[in-house]
Every structure is written in C-alpha cells, then in structure tokens.
Amino acid sequence: MPKTEHSRSRKTRTSPELRGRVWIDGPEGTFIGHGRVVLLERIMEHGSISKAARSMEMAYRHAWDLVDSMNKQSPKPFVAMATGGKGGGGASVTDEGKKAIKLFWRFHKDLQEFLKKEKKKLRFYQRDGRGKL
C-alpha cells in the first residue's frame, strides 16, 4: 500500500500534529474504513478482487473476507461477484458501494479540515528557531 501522510517518521516533525482516521462500525465490527474503501476503489479499477488484492499487496483471502463483511453488513451489497468459468470471474462495485466510497471520502475530508483548524490551538507547543519549546 502506498505511504500516507500518517506514515511519516516522527523524527521529521518539528511541531505537533493532530491526526485522525474515519471508520464506521457495524454489527460485526468495522464496516467501512480507509483500507476497505481503497480496496473498493481497486476493485473498480481492476474488475477483480484478486487483482485488487494483489495491487495492495494483500492476501486474496483477506480481501475476500473484507468484501464479504461489507456486503453482509450493508442492506445492499457493495460488490457484485461473477463466478469463474471459461472467461474467468470478476467483481464490480455496485451503486451502493460507490455511494459509500463518496460518503467515506467526504467524512475524511471533513475530518482533515477539522483537524487543520483545531491544530491552531497547539500554538503553545511550537518550537522556536533553535528547536526549543
């Protein structure tokens, strides 16, 4: 998976940062979160759970379990699967899944804007030019 803004080394920070992540819990635990949304986007891109999993360096079984969990917890499935055969199987993200992706990224954007605004409250903890508090 590509590195995110959250994977930066702590040693390179010169001032405190507020960080946060969005996820939605369902009756079986995590329903949708960053990794699951990226998986849905990769399924849209590749048309296959196995190819999507490979692109994320994720085991197929884990990807399938995540898709199964989302489909079971949603009133309508997020991913439609076609069985294999001569032409092979495939998977596609449903309209319901696409709505979930958009909603997740809207929540993510709103959270990032909130954290950016709230970071101003940490001014008391800024370092001076010599690295001292």
Per-residue pLDDT of the chain (133 residues; tens, 9 = 90+): 444 454 554 557 666 778 899 999 998 889 999 999 999 999 999 999 999 999 999 999 999 999 999 999 999 999 999 887 666 779 999 999 999 999 999 999 999 999 988 888 876 665 555 445 4
Q: At what angle do helices 95-119 and 34-46 cross, to 10 degrees?
A: 140
pLDDT at residue 1, as a whole number = 40
User: Per the structure block, which two tokens stand in for 52?
Assistant: 């999507």
Do the Cβ atoms of 79 and 96 come closer than 8 Å? no
Q: Tell me which residue of 46, 73, 78, 77 sits closest to 60, measured CA to CA.
A: 46
What is d(CA 32, CA 112) in angstroms, rounded to the nearest whole number? Answer: 18
- Domain layout of the chain by residue ranges: 23-120
pLDDT at residue 32, as a whole number = 95
pLDDT at residue 28, as a whole number = 87
Do the Cβ atoms of 55 and 43 come closer than 8 Å? no
Give the global pTM.
0.78
Q: Residue 48 has what DSSP assignment?
A: S
* DSSP H/E element including 91: strand 90-93
pLDDT at residue 124, as a whole number = 64
Topology adopted by domain 23-120: Arc Repressor Mutant, subunit A (1.10.10)
